[in-house]
Amino acid sequence: MINLEIPKKHAGLVDQAHQLAMNMLRPISRTYDRAEHAYPKELDMLAALIDGVSETGATGGAGAGGVRRDTAPIDGDRVRNGAHLASVLSVAEMCWGDTALLLSMPRQGLGNSAIASVANEEQLERYRGTWAAMAITEPGTGSDSANITTTAVRDGDDYVINGEKIYVTSGDRADSVVVWATLDRELGRAAIKPFLVRKDNPGLRVERLEHKLGIRASDTAAITLTDCRVPAEDLLGSPEIDPSSGFAGAMATFDNTRPLVAAMAVGCARASLDLTRDLLEQAGVVIDYDRPGQAQSAAAATYLRLEADWEGARLLMMQAAWMADNRRPNSLEASMAKAKAGRVGSDVTLSCVQLCGTLGYSEAELLEKWARDSKILDIFEGTQQIQQLIVARRVLGLTSAELK
């Protein structure tokens, strides 16, 4: 039976992540928001610490880099609270400190989640220690990741990749990029495969860094691939085209990463709620959990509504991660968690700005920054509208061709 409380075995990890967020990320948050595209050198030590914790296996997983879906048999009715749950809980705490700095952390990229999701065992060992960005979005595809036009053509022992990718998180700083390309456009989704392209591969070029509304400490790049040669062994997973599996590789990746993005939204929204409660109390607004909202001030009632909505997002996030740990299909739950948390994150952070008035809107506090940062969490890894479409298809039992 699922229990959506923080497991005792993960309590130490959650506390450590919170302390790191409070003492290392929060103090430098404003500095690197203002210094857009400057690399936060303080993260090198923190990334090394997270690598060490993950290597020991003591926590069952840490950070945003993604964890491999366990395929070992489960004994009887034994329930696992494993690496996926540990990962979303730690990510939420770190984003309580700063979302952009978490996204900037070496070896914690979404490309690492793709490797963890679809690479074979030999590749996992060979790519150990790499920092991988994720490159799916193209100028003409928007949220329709299955409409990828970047091509990969086999030429001897290599693939030759041509195309353009935009909004690549850590696209400049990472030492490699997981590039999604099609082996045959006529075969549709089934022919789309991920390739690990190293930054020193001839033909890969970082064209520009984007100036953004939020997550400004995180570099977001546009890259081009022009006759970029990639060894065939760097195609992640199987090179076989199986029409029955559809877009399985990307979907397996998204089932891992969408709960992580939900965790980012949950953490950022929690930070806003915590600070807003303190500021309201300083202004004489008491939030009483023993009285109904309609019997309190408008500000207190609004706060209680926001917190209840946040709790729903947190529980959906934990459910999606718990299902992955227990080898249960979680595509529906991953999209539900991403959709709920993305919407709630934007609603909570903007509402907190409004509740706190001039303090919320000014740079005297971090509320305005969190409102800017949270918006991307409702967009990347599939927009709110795309998640709702996926959920509708799953619930109604319809295909993408039947429900567009």
Q: Tell me the longest C-alpha to C-alpha distance in the chain.
A: 74
Q: Beta partners for 209?
A: 221
Residue 381 known to be catalytic: yes
Cβ(140)–Cβ(176) under 8 Å?
no
Cα distance between residue 308 and residue 133, in whole Å: 34
> Is beta strand 132-135 parallel, antiparallel or unpaired with respect to 204-209?
unpaired
Q: How far apart are the first and last CA of the chain?
A: 35
Q: Give the distance, in angstroms, between the CA of residue 39 and the centroid of all CA atoms in the same chain.
A: 20
Residue keyed to tokens 């495969």: 193
Q: Beta partners for 26?
A: none
| From 36, 307, 381, 402, the catalytic residue | 381
Cα distance between residue 138 and residue 273, in whole Å: 35
Cα distance between residue 356 and residue 82, in whole Å: 39
Question: What are the tokens at 231?
Answer: 């060894």
CA angle 121, 123, 126 (to 5 degrees): 115
Run of H or E including 302 = helix 298-325
Cβ(190)–Cβ(218) under 8 Å?
no
Active site (catalytic) residues: 381
